[in-house]
Structure 1
Amino acid sequence: MTTPDNTQDPTRTDSTEFWDGRYAESDRVWSGEANVVLVREVAGLTPGRALDLGCGEGADAVWLARRGWRVTATDISRVALDRAARHAAEAGVADRVDWQRHELGKTFPEGEFDLVSSQFLHSPTELPREEILRRAARAVAPGGHLLVEGHSGWPSWQPNPHPEVHLPSPQEVVESLRLDEDAWEILICAEHDRVQLTPDGEEAIRTDSTVLARRR
């Protein structure tokens, strides 16, 4: 296991400051449960090497490791990575996860992976998402899968709070990947609704998008 390095980092940027601050606001930002779409689509796959992009507090990486995957998990926030490493240790899978800090628009994990997962890779700070996802596709080994889950537009109770952030449809995601049709098979390209609590605590519907592709 590689543990996050907390020494002074000369590559620290405004994006780093934002996400470290976001995670430092509370002891837990997310639910601690693996993303539902990841569980649904990956449960039947044979475990191999997985790359978790924007791993946050590590719930997906821990879930994968518990099921036999060797996981490289990356995030921009050292605060998140420290927390994620603790969760992996508590779950008894510390030796199956390599935690790496990357600002993905600038650096990217090395190697090929049987699964590359990008779950809600959105940010109000600078994020070249399309370039990152194309790099993610290039990291998929032959026979492997690329899973991209994201928000598909802003919810009704939060009308476009960040105009500079585009939340694409699944069709736009597929187009932006620029995949070679002879080398890839698109297994899923669809939107789906889920129930989410509004800031007022009321249940409302939010639309997300799923793209799952397999490299031939």
Structure 2
Amino acid sequence: MTGEPGGAATDAMQFWDERYVSRRTEHGRIWSGDVNSTVEQQLKGLPPGSALELGSGEGADALWLAAQGWNVTALDISSVALAVGAAEATKEGLSDRIEWVQTDLATWRPSAQYDLVMSAFLHSPVEFPREAVLRRAVSAVAPGGSLLIVGHGGFPPMSEHAHGTDFPSFPSPDDVLASLHLPSGWAVETNALIERTAKWRDEQDVVLVDTVLRVRRDE
């Protein structure tokens, strides 16, 4: 794993490392460890190749991709989250298919191209240039490859933020598409709001809305 400590990056690393430690459950992680159902729906059946995940967190989506035969590079700012994913990869016999890389996406620049580039819920309560990061991700997609961006369509209905006005609204799929400034030679395969059912913190079912944009580079 490689890091880029210093200044704002150090502040963000500290924020996310502390978050992944302070919110751990008895299972040793924040999240369920299961692939996001929208990600699975969008990618299941694609022929495996090389994949890059931006903001992999504890690695559930990266682990699922690796289990489908993909060779994955998983990027995240939190070494704590990456360690959770790496430990699970070892347990599942997937270590040879995933490279876990600690980096600050705010300053990251692509150095290779991949058959799939994806980000799922790349949102941050601390300052983060999300649009610029996703625009840079476009250049990491190899000819014939895909870019998948899944985001929140709104706060969960049981969240303390759901009915407040202190937070800006989440961008729509059309907003995300426009912000990418795609050149010619790209095809839109999914541009939608997709509902899914998930377990909330009290194990109650809740309906969530995801913004989903999947585009393919034809040339």
> Does TM, normalized by the shorter one, top 0.5?
yes
Please give the alpha-carbon distance, in whole angstroms, between the structure 2 residues aligned to 1:177 and 1:206.
Answer: 25
Q: How does 1:53-202 map to 2 (within 5 A)?
A: 53-158=54-159, 159=162, 163-180=166-183, 182-199=184-201, 201-202=203-204
C-alpha separation in 2, matches of 1:76 and 1:164:
23
1:103-131 CA distances to partner (integer Å, 9 max, x unpaired)?
A: 10112452000000100101101111111
**Change over 3 Å in CA distance of 1:75–1:162 after alignment to 2:** farther
Structure 1: unaligned runs, 5 residues or longer: none
Deviations 1:53-91 (A, max 9, x none): 111111111111122211100101000111111111111
Residue in structure 1 matched with residue 217 of structure 2 by the alignment:
215
Letter in 1 for 2:63: V
- 1:198 shift after superposition: 4.3
Q: Please state how far the C-alpha of 1:209 moved relative to its aligned partner.
A: 0.8
2:192 is matched by which residue type in structure 1? A
Number of residue equivalences: 211
What is residue 13 of structure 1 aligned with on the other side? Answer: 10
> Unpaired runs of 5+ in structure 2?
none
SS at match of 1:206: strand
2-side partners of 1:197 and 1:111: how far apart? 37
Residue by residue, what CA displacement relative to the aligned partner does 1:122-176 show, whole Å, maximum 9, x if unpaired?
A: 1101111111111111110000000000001223333266835541111111111
CA separation in 1, counterparts of 2:101 and 2:164? Answer: 30
1:204 is aligned to: 206
1:41 matches 2:42? yes
Q: Is the 8 A contact 2:55 2:75 kept in 1?
A: yes
Structure 1 residues 13 and 205: CA distance shift in structure 2, 3 A: same
Cα 1:92–1:55, aligned 2, differ >3 Å: closer, same or farther?
same
Query: Who is 2:21 aligned against?
Result: 24
- Alpha-carbon distance in structure 1 between the residues aligned to 2:98 and 2:203: 35
TM-score (norm 2): 0.88
Question: Structure 1 162/10 Cα, relative in aligned 2: closer, same or farther at 3 Å?
Answer: farther
Identity of aligned residues (%): 43
- Whichever residue aligns with residue 171 of structure 1, its letter is D
